């Protein structure tokens, strides 16, 4: 029974370490994130009508 506890503990430790290692292939620079956000904002603005009514915007 003691061996199973060690196996479970070792497996849990391995999974924790494996999950906490950053994946450089998916890493995105700050400049890229800003560009992605600006592109998304442009698409949202094109798809939706922006109202500039002073009565509604106050």
- Residue pLDDT, tens place only, 15-36: 998 888 777 767 788 899 999 9
**What is the pLDDT at residue 57?**
73
Look at the pTM and tell me if it is higher than 0.85. Answer: no
**Whole-angstrom Cα distance, residue 20 to residue 12?**
12
- Main-chain phi, psi angles of 46, to 5 degrees: -70, -35
Closest CA to 37 of 48, 27, 45: 45
12 vs 47: CA distance, rounded Å: 47
Q: Which two tokens stand for residue 47?
A: 């798809």
- Is 57:51 a contact under the CB 8 Å cutoff? yes
* SS3 label, residue 51: coil
pLDDT of amino acid 1: 61
């Amino acid at each position: 029974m003691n061996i199973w506890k060690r196996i479970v503990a070792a497996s849990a430790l391995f999974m924790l370490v494996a999950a906490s290692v950053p994946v450089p292939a998916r890493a995105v620079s700050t400049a890229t994130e800003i560009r992605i956000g600006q592109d998304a904002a442009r698409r949202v603005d094109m798809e939706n009508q922006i109202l500039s009514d002073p009565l509604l915007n106050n």
